[in-house]
Amino acid sequence: MSQNKNTIDFGFAEVPLEEKVKKVKGVFDSVAGNYDIMNDVMSMGIHRVWKRKTIELSGVRPGNTVLDLAGGTGDLTKAFAKRVGKDGKVVLADINESMVRVGRDRLINEGIVGNVDYTITNAEALGFPDNTFDVATIAFGLRNVTNKDKALEELYRVLKPGGQLMVLEFSKVTQPMLAKLYDFYSFNILPKMGKFIADDEASYQYLAESIRMHPDQETLKQMMLDAGFDKAEYINMSEGIVALHRSWKF
């Protein structure tokens, strides 16, 4: 995180605060059409395992109201919609209209209708009343938020008492040798894959850089507590390549 209050990190670069949202939007406008296939290729399909674990630990049940923030193309929304049933509601929310459009079209095509709403919203100013959701998730989106502390405070606000926030995000690799291999893959292979598959090397270079700039496990845990959550913990997956952070509003 930049130490200059007027600038913020965009990958390894420093940009004015007001420009980050526009730059992140540009990245996801560029990758929206190839987002799902790139996720499968980049992670060798393991992202599905990470998301399945998140869904299993969510405790979502029929009749619940769920916020899938930075929901993108709808992987989590699809699973939650099946769990909440006809009496529940899932809101797929994202700041990027292109991603929401792809997610909406995909889920409608797969017959997920009736209990899913779609909305364009900024994580730092969620357009929902206090105490709305039983569960909120943000998967692979928090690192792109300009003011992460504000976003966590907003997520706390919109959760009901007893509600759970789940943040699934790339994190700090715990095994030194794997960390070296992961760095090599991230900066030498991943951008080339982006160029070959999506004709977009720059966006995937940003992806690698944004992962390295994201707070580590203990830092993010403390940020959740500072945002008001009463309890916070995390589970490392794939040796810390990804961590699932969970926090509760009591």
Tell me if 123 is assigned to a ligand binding site: yes
Within 8 A by CB and 6+ apart from 26, the residues are none
219 is in an annotated binding site: no
208 is in an annotated binding site: no
Q: What is the 3-state secondary structure (H, E, C) of 19-50?
A: HHHHHHHHHHHHHHHHHHHHHHHHHCCHHHHH
Q: Is 94 annotated as contributing to ligand binding? A: yes
Q: Starting from the edge strand earliest in sequence, which strands make up the sheet with 231-237, in order?
A: 116-120, 89-94, 65-69, 133-139, 159-170, 242-248, 231-237
Pairwise CA distance, residues 226 & 232, whole Å: 10
Which residues contribute to the annotated binding site for S-adenosyl-L-methionine?
73, 94, 122-123
What are the binding residues?
73, 94, 122-123
